[in-house]
Amino acid sequence: MKIFNTLTRSKEEFVPIEEGKVSIYVCGPTVYNLIHIGNARPMIVFDTVRRYFEYKGYEVNYVSNFTDVDDKIIKAAIEEGVTADEISKRYIAECKKDMEALNVRPATKHPLATEEIDGMLQMISTLINKGNAYPVKDGTVYFRTRSFKEYGKLSHKNIDDLEAGHRSIKVSGDLKEDPLDFVLWKPKKEGEPSWQSPWSDGRPGWHIECSVMSKKYLGDQIDIHAGGEDLVFPHHENEIAQSECCNGVEFAKYWMHNGFLKINNEKMSKSLGNFFTVRDISEKYDLQVLRFFMLSAHYRSPLNFSDDLMEAAKNGLDRIVNCAEQLNYYAENAKTEDLTSEEETLLSEAKEFVKKYEAAMDDDFNTADAISAIFELVKFANQNTSDDSSKTFVLELRKELVMLSDVLGIILEKEKEVLDEDIEALIAERQAARKEKNFQRADEIRDELLNMGIVLEDTREGVKWKRA
């Protein structure tokens, strides 16, 4: 299996630190609002990477954090007149709902920055003691960037060029030794959440959070660190500097970054009116379509989101789902169980699609080519199955189709649509139960309908219902 390593800018054979095991850290969202489709791309991409490692037999320790203390969270809290904790907890819960709808598996651990402050204080103290960081009189602690001789090795930026031209990493203030030094700890401002430290009551800088959470849950050295392309510099560059200075070993062996997402060939922004949350998309499409769309291009390629491309993704996904449904139908109505010799030969041919699929995924997780292999399998199944096919044959083809789709997180079971007459029948049964004072059964029916996505409303005119 080969992975494109941002660190070396080349594809490298994947060799885990510990045989049979993979440790992955993925930078998660800052939780101050509903996640947008740009947030969804790394979630889907690296969930698929994890699934493929598990498919190959690896034991995967997958850690993805929530940044739950940040300027944007504090701003949202002030605007609403609530605490920052209330904002972050609310949007962590909403993010988890969206992840479930996207069929993104929960991480092995989802650490919260606010629960790891002690580890951050320890790492900052270690860096100060080693001479890699220093506190100043206002209570800020800075990382001494030039103390790490390899600074710039991930982004391939020259440190002297950075000082001249890259203001994005500079933090204003005259107390720093060097304009390139970045914040590890900052003193609180009025009304902000804060924690006690030897330097000031305050809160951690963003970069130190991920270094500490990765170290605690995965160890000093990890196999893969991943995230969006926008995190290469300065976030991941700074993580490397502080982690390697603190721990004395290479931080991550492989760095993976997904490409940018554009909307109709433009950068997504609220001012352009092309800003979409995952919830926005769910009102128009099943989120399986969004997942399928995201995987239809190679993860490192820029991806353009548009209605036309989403429609194409929907049609492509429908082809696969319909094939699985057709195979189900043939299996249920098969006249015979046993394979014919011709079917045995065809099953051997079908194994070639699995090989193509695995070759694509082994080549830096090329999901676009993997999906092409699935389409070839669909075409093969459509051409070679009929009412005369044996049950064993169609079930074997379906098993192969489901297995390959599952690695991509694509669900092939169609949910049965709840018909209006079925809903009305259950409501009538509930009304009868209430008349008989069988309130337990009435409540059971309400819950049953709710699980189907049907919301009841008792009004003076009678019971009204709507699809959630």
pLDDT band at 317, cuts 50/70/90? very high
Residue pLDDT, tens place only, 346-361 = 999 999 999 999 999 9
Dihedral angle, C-alpha 50, 313, 356, 223, nearest 10 °? -20
Q: State residue 448's pLDDT score.
A: 83
Half-sphere exposure of 215 (CA within 13 A, CB side): 26
Q: What is the mean pLDDT of residues 214-238?
A: 97
Give the residue with greater pLDDT, 172 vs 153: 153
pLDDT band at 174, cuts 50/70/90? low
Residue 83 C-alpha from the chain's centroid: 27
Q: State residue 295's pLDDT score.
A: 98
Tokens of 361: 């995924």
Closest by CA position to 400, among listed 345, 363, 357: 357
Cβ atoms of 24 and 46 within 8 Å: the answer is: yes
Cβ atoms of 274 and 264 within 8 Å: the answer is: yes
The helix-helix angle for 287-295 and 367-384 (nearest 10°) equals 110
Residue 468: pLDDT over 70: no
Closest by CA position to 94, among listed 26, 42, 32: 32
Q: State residue 170's pLDDT score.
A: 45
Q: What is the mean pLDDT of residues 428-448?
A: 87
Which residues have a Cβ under 8 Å from the Cβ of 147 and sit 6 or more positions away? 131, 132, 245
* CATH value of 308-407 in 1.25.40, 1.20.120, 1.10.10, 3.30.1490: 1.20.120
Q: What is the mean pLDDT of residues 230-237?
A: 97
Helix, strand, or coil (residue 235) = helix
Q: What is the mean pLDDT of residues 181-191?
A: 95
Residue 425: pLDDT over 80: yes
pLDDT band at 341, cuts 50/70/90? very high
- How do 454-459 and 303-305 pair as beta strands? unpaired
* Cβ neighbourhood burial of 339 (10 Å; 0-12, 13-18, 19+): middle
* CATH value of 2-258 in 3.40.50.720, 3.40.50.620, 3.40.920.10, 1.10.3720.10: 3.40.50.620
Residue 166: pLDDT over 80: no
Q: What is the mean pLDDT of residues 376-383?
A: 98
Whole-number percent of the chain with pLDDT over 70: 96
Residue pLDDT, tens place only, 16-31 = 999 999 999 999 999 9
Q: What is the mean pLDDT of the chain?
A: 93
Residue 168: pLDDT over 60: no
Q: What is the mean pLDDT of residues 5-15?
A: 98
Model's pTM, two decimal places?
A: 0.87
Q: What is the mean pLDDT of residues 87-107?
A: 97
Sheet holding 261-263, edge to edge: 266-267, 261-263, 303-305
Q: What is the mean pLDDT of residues 239-268?
A: 96
